[in-house]
Chain A
């Protein structure tokens, strides 16, 4: 103790003590507050955001602007969230093939990792709806088919048709078919409201109700054709066509045969 107190007036004592104190406080703080893995994922995310930014600059910025701020031909992506990117890029709608009335579903251009990077980049610009995780999409467990059907008819059928086959909107736009759409994308579409579709926020339709809707859509998709060929599940137009072409067509054929044989 004496040896230590001998140096207490040493000119290096002050700075050394300061360094020690800082080190001690810093160590205590880092041990108490942060975890090592968290630091790691921050590094990952920033790397992924950087990668997403590079993809964005190459593939998207010509329309959406260098900082995703939007332009006259494409909307701003600030605040649309990762879910929106995952829906638009994941279903192949973005990048758009042509600037016609509506982006249509097509084979996706970016693979899953690239899509995730793009989503991370856009999500880093401003907060927005996140991509729902696997556990949040367990519609088989959390959904109710009948309730989903009622919600679907209340909120979705007026555009997507009673069986989710899609329908026409004004000026060549359309509500696409919901058959064969992944549950994740249906969920994201409800949350983000792509193109002409309105946003169905969690206040309008709760997450459980969204899962019920997905469950009903999947049940309609899997439903066998109970009454025979459905002709598209689009209602009486195709039925009338069949009545004339097949029904009356066959009857005319028989009538001609009956009256020519008699001679």
Chain B
């Protein structure tokens, strides 16, 4: 034992004797994480969040969250002498006077865009592989909560500089709040401290943006990651991987080195993009005044789909008892997102109700093996994509020489037709892929070599596939529909007939799949 080792040993012993940490550290260091590139989206989210905290802290040193009117006399000439809020003036100051300020602003904003993109990618990975199943439903809900928090936090950050674009966004936000029946107007007056725009919202948004929401974020992210730690990470099926083990690298040294390195890679890529590409050039937008608006006013991409839904809504309003209900805002901006987010949060429970599967799952599904879920996912992506396209309809119209009205009508009709179409096509594709897997397992891989038999027939030579691949192709479970009888064993009609019928139908639709290759079939092939 060298002297260094001795010293470290003594120090470790000192801590262990007082905290009893050795057992926990040993267990933790032996934790194993499975490796797959799609498992790193969650890490991108966490690292982007750290970048956001660091760059955001920097920005708070100079940002003045106040709507006090000042006259600009900074170095950006085209705005000199104009009246503006202190918030906007201080953002200009950060951009042009503070050393490295513009880069920090850009890092903060690009990191936010990448953060949200990584959250969505992470969510899709978890959804399509069925990682949300028991026992991880709770963590799935936390994930949806983080997504929602991200949307709100992003919107607030976008609103803080008080430029023309952020004011426009806030105007729409206030309109959406006002559209809520009965309490809408009161809620909007409460939040904005009076009639829009008022003078209160920048300080309020600031407190929410830099203190309250990041605080909730930190707490939820901590629980989210600790639950992954405690429940262990899921893994893709393969030889040697079961529901009872985790195959991968221990946390030290490989995993730790890679994860630590990946943080710097994420930071590096964010800094690189921020150094070469402009984002939110607020000096071009000008200060916010309610009388002004720019063509092509869009929110950041993660809010774009909501904007697109509002843009495609036909002008529907009802007037009753002296009150106006703006269905054109209420439906696309409150009801539809409400349904989508509630549906997403409850999906693990809905699926387990449909399949009747209450077991724990640690092995992931290959998306093709659960066609219904995969199709539902693609259907949702199609829905959001059409909304997102309509959110940028004016930009698309000018850049591709199209009519904005045509794009709107395409979206209005497409939002009803294309998602179901995507569902059907995806389900067909999944079943075809299952058939291809079955074919591969039974007849081997096509080699492209043609053989002419003595009697003149041409056949293609098939090569046997590797045992690992063969294992992967037959490792999944055969989906089976639930058997729910309308009457029980004694012939008495069971309660909840409609519910049972619905569950049976959904279960039947969910279980549509290609029959797995049986042992007998494999034996037959071998003897063949």
Query: Which residue of chain B is the closest to A149 with respect to CB atoms?
Result: B78
- Is A175's CB under 8 angstroms from B295's CB? yes
Q: How many residues of B contact A (CB 8 A)?
A: 75
Judge whether B152 is part of the interface by a CB distance below 8 angstroms.
no
Give the segment of A33-41, A43-51, A118-126, A221-229 that binds chain B: A221-229
Q: Which of B102, B299, B395, B397 contacts A172 (CB 8 A)?
A: B397
In the bound complex, CA of A155 to CA of B397 (Å):
22
Cβ contact within 8 Å between B294 and A162? yes
Instruction: Answer whether A146 and B291 are a contact pair too, CB < 8 Å, given A153-B286, A230-B281, A239-B280.
Output: no
Shortest Cβ gap from A178 to chain B (Å): 12
How long is the Cα–Cα vector from A113 to B399 in the complex, in angstroms?
34
Q: Is A233 close to B, CB under 8 A?
A: yes
CB-CB under 8 A for A239 and B296, given A171-B405, A172-B397: no
The verdict on A210 contacting chain B, using a C-beta distance below 8 Å, is no
Given A170-B404, A172-B397, A172-B404, are A229 and B277 also a contact pair (CB < 8 Å)?
A: yes
Find chain A residues with CB under 8 A from B213 CB. Answer: none
Interface residues in B101-115 (C-beta closer than 8 Å to A): 102, 106, 110, 113-114
Q: Which A residues between 162 and 217 are near B, CB-CB below 8 angstroms?
A: 162-163, 165-172, 174-175, 216
Give B383-412 as 1s and 0s: 1 = Cβ < 8 Å from A's Cβ atoms: 000000001111101110111111000000
- The listed residue with most A CB atoms (<10 A of its CB), out of B44, B114, B277, is B277
Residue numbers in A under 8 Å from B113 (CB-CB): 239-240, 243, 247
Within 8 Å of chain B (Cβ to Cβ): is A71? Answer: no
CA distance A198 to B495 in the complex (A): 69
Is the CB–CB distance between A234 and B395 below 8 Å?
Answer: yes
Q: Is the CB of B102 within 8 A of A169?
A: no
Q: Which of A153, A234, A243, A260 contacts B296 (CB 8 A)?
A: A234
Q: Is the CB of A146 within 8 A of B258?
A: no
CB distance from B169 to the nearest CB of A (A): 10
CA distance A236 to B392 in the complex (A): 9
Give the interface SS of chain B, mostly helix, strand, loop or mixed. helix
Q: Which of B77, B265, B269, B398 counts the most A-chain CB atoms under 10 A from its CB?
A: B398
Q: Does B283 contact A (CB under 8 A)?
A: yes
A60 within 8 A of B: no
Is there a chain A Cβ closer than 8 Å to B79's Cβ? Answer: yes
Binds A, one of B32-40, B349-357, B502-510: B32-40
Q: Which of chain A's residues has its CB closest to B35's CB?
A: A259
How many Å from the CB of A16 to the closest CB on chain B? 77
Choose among A149, A225, A237, A255 the residue that contacts B286 (Cβ–Cβ < 8 A).
A149
**Does B114 lie within 8 Å of A168, measured CB to CB?**
no
Q: Does B249 contact A (CB under 8 A)?
A: yes
B301 interface contact, C-beta 8 A? yes
Contacts of A145 in B (CB 8 A): 77-78, 80
Question: A248 CA to B391 CA in the complex, in Å?
Answer: 21
Is residue A25 within 8 Å, beta carbon to beta carbon, of the partner chain?
no
**Residues of A with C-beta under 8 A to B78:** 145-146, 149, 216, 219-220, 223
Distance of A230 Cα from B279 Cα, bound (Å): 7
B254 at the interface (CB under 8 A from A): yes
CB of B147 within 8 Å of the partner chain: no
A227-B294 CB under 8 A given contacts A168-B393, A168-B398, A258-B37 = no
Chain A residues near B (Cβ < 8 Å):
101, 145-147, 149-150, 153-154, 157-163, 165-172, 174-175, 216, 219-220, 223, 225-244, 246-248, 250-252, 254-256, 258-260, 262-263
Q: Top 7 closest A-B pairs, CB basis?
A: A240-B301, A167-B295, A227-B278, A172-B403, A243-B113, A162-B294, A168-B394
Interchain Cβ contacts under 8 Å between A and B, 30 examples: A145-B78, A145-B80, A146-B77, A147-B81, A149-B78, A153-B292, A161-B294, A161-B296, A162-B165, A162-B285, A162-B286, A162-B294, A170-B405, A171-B405, A216-B78, A223-B78, A226-B102, A228-B274, A233-B281, A236-B280, A237-B304, A247-B270, A251-B266, A251-B269, A252-B121, A255-B41, A255-B44, A256-B37, A259-B39, A262-B258
